[in-house]
């Protein structure tokens, strides 16, 4: 996670306070100096201030002074920000970076909304990834690997963005024909190949999960492997793997399964949820059930922190100084200040 922050935020206030103190001191010093410097006394010179050229020059002088004050305040603020040490804080852990995560998403009609949330959450997490590999596999009656495990984050971002875009479709709009045909085409295009085995079967969760389990590679290296499965476990048709079998396969391969359930309440939904929960919890995964797509965000945070705890990841904070945002400002303002002072003095 990259956070832009200030290492010493109090320095802003301190610098401003010092500047104000210097201003006050300067004011008194000036008054004292004025007292000491010998004034040349003239008489009958009050007409000077009524002369047009004096007035115009005076107003110009005031404008310059005001500009100078603004520039000075700006320079002080920039100095304050610089003194506060603007840094990028990156919390990074090498253990977490060994994670391989397969997003295993059921793209049957009822789950599309939840899939969107999962994809968007991972889009959000993506900038903090440093070595983690991620894959996206979608399935209905058959599976399609959108992209395999990779740390090519440019590709991942592109694909996730496209997936989020395509999945962001309101299926209810199909009923009243108010949908956007282009968006519908995009969705159909995205889920293409996941409904290959005839119309009768859908949501073959065991097969989908098994496919995801087989998508891990580098089996001889020590990596943390996990699947984030989102499904309603509403199976129609004949599966090669049942869900418990697939769960066993997953466990055999040393993969942790985290489950997310979001089914409608039907006559069989409780049994489906229970089967799903049992499989996930049997192998020590985290199981969540929610009918609120907004809950996905927190769930994935939970999974991440759970992984961090399991991996005994000591997050390492890497601090990078980022003065480049304020430094040019300070330089430019100081330059303007010097120019203006030179202009005022001559």
Partner 1 sequence: MAQSRSRLAKVRARLDLPTVRRAAGLLEGRHRSIYSGHGQDFDEMALYQFGDDVGDIDWKSSASSGHPVIRRFVRDSNVAMVLALDTGRNMAATAPDGSMKSDIALFAAEVICYLARARGDLVALVAGDEDRIVQIPARGGTEHMEMLLRRSESMLDLEAPPSDLNRVFDRILTWFTRRSLVVLITDEARPRPEHELGLKRLRTRHEVMVIQIGDVLPTAFSDRVIDDVDTHLEIPEYLRSRKDLSAEAADAALRRRHDVAAMLRRQGVEAVTANSEDELIDRMFDLLRRQRRVRH
Measured from the CB of residue 153, what is the shortest distance to partner 1 in angstroms?
58
Instruction: Please tell me whether residue 37 binds partner 1 under the rule CB under 8 A.
Output: yes
Binding of residue 36 to partner 1 (CB under 8 A)? no
Alpha carbons 300 and 309: distance in angstroms, whole number? 14
**Residue 221 sits in the site that holds partner 1 (CB under 8 A):** no
Please provide the size of the chain in residues.
346
Angle between helices 243-252 and 269-282 (to 10 degrees): 10
Handedness of CA 175, 177, 178, 183 (dihedral sign): positive
φ, ψ of residue 31 to 5 degrees: the values are: -60, -45
Residue with tokens 């059930």: 289
Among 31, 42, 177, 267, binds partner 1 (CB under 8 A): 42
Q: How far is the CB of 64 from partner 1 (least distance, A)?
A: 7
3-state secondary structure of 326: coil
> How far apart (Å, rounded) are the C-alpha atoms in residues 161 and 136?
12
**Using CB under 8 A, which residues numbered 305 to 344 contact partner 1?**
344
Q: 277: which 2 tokens?
A: 């929960």
Q: Smallest distance, Å, CB 27 to partner 1? A: 14
> According to the binding rule CB under 8 A, does residue 35 interact with partner 1?
no
Q: Which of 28, 31, 45, 342 is close enough to bind partner 1 by CB under 8 A?
A: 45
Spatial distance between the Cα atoms of 205 and 202, rounded to a whole number of angstroms: 9
Q: Residue 49 or 178: which CB sits closer to partner 1? A: 49
CA distance 88 to 90: 6
Q: Segment near partner 1 (CB under 8 A), from 43-51, 193-201, 246-254, 321-329?
A: 43-51
Non-local (6+) Cβ contacts of 321 within 8 A are 85, 86, 87
200 binds partner 1 (CB under 8 A): no
Instruction: Tell me which stretch binds partner 1 (CB under 8 A): 37-45, 240-248, 270-278, 316-324.
Output: 37-45
Tokens representing 345 are 């003095």
Distance CA 99, CA 105 (A): 18
**Residue 27 contacts partner 1 per CB under 8 A:** no
CB 126 to partner 1: min, Å: 57
Q: Binding of partner 1 at residue 31 (CB under 8 A)?
A: no
Asked if 267 is part of the footprint of partner 1 (rule: CB under 8 A), the reply reads no
Output the smallest distance, CB 318 to partner 1, in A: 51
Residues 6+ apart with CB under 8 A from 236: 200, 201, 202, 203
Judged by CB under 8 A, does residue 70 bind partner 1? no
- Provide the pairing of β-strand 99-106 with 224-231: parallel
- Minimum CB separation of residue 338 from partner 1 in Å reads 15
Which residues, listed in sequence order, are joined to residue 133 by a DSSP beta bridge? Answer: 100
Binding-site size, partner 1 (CB under 8 A): 24
* CB of 219 or CB of 346, closer to partner 1: 346
Question: Interface residues with partner 1 (CB under 8 A)?
Answer: 34, 37-49, 51-54, 57-58, 61, 64, 344-345
């Amino acid at each position: 996670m990259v956070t832009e922050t200030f290492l010493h935020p109090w320095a802003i206030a301190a610098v401003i306070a010092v500047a104000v103190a210097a201003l006050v001191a300067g004011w008194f010093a000036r008054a004292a100096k004025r007292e000491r410097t010998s004034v040349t006394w003239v008489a009958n010179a009050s007409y000077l201030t009524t002369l047009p050229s004096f007035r115009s020059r005076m107003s110009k002088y005031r404008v310059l002074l005001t500009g100078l004050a603004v520039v000075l305040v700006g320079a002080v603020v920039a100095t304050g920000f610089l003194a506060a040490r603007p840094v990028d804080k990156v919390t990074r852990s090498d253990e977490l970076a060994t994670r391989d995560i397969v997003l295993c998403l059921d793209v049957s009609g009822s789950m599309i909304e939840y899939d969107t949330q999962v994809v968007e959450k991972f889009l959000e997490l993506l900038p903090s990834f440093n070595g983690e590999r991620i894959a996206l596999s979608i399935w209905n009656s058959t599976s399609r690997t959108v992209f395999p495990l990779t740390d090519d984050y440019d590709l991942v971002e592109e694909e996730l963005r496209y997936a989020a875009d395509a999945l962001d479709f309101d299926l209810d709009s199909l009923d009243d024909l108010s949908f956007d045909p282009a968006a519908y085409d995009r969705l159909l295009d995205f889920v293409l190949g996941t409904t290959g085995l005839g119309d009768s079967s859908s949501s073959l969760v065991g097969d989908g999960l098994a496919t995801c389990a087989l998508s891990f590679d580098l089996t001889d290296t020590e990596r943390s492997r996990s699947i984030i499965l989102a499904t309603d476990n509403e199976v129609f048709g004949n599966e090669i793997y049942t869900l418990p079998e697939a769960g066993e396969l997953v466990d055999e391969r040393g993969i942790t399964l985290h489950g997310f359930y979001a089914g409608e309440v039907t006559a069989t939904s409780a049994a489906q949820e229970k089967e799903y929960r049992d499989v996930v919890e049997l192998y020590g995964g985290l199981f969540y059930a929610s009918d609120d797509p907004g809950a996905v965000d927190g769930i994935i945070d939970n999974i991440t922190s759970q992984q961090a705890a399991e991996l005994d990841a000591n997050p390492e904070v890497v601090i990078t100084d980022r003065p480049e945002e304020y430094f040019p400002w300070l330089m430019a303002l100081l330059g303007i200040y010097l120019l203006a002072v030179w202009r005022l003095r001559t």
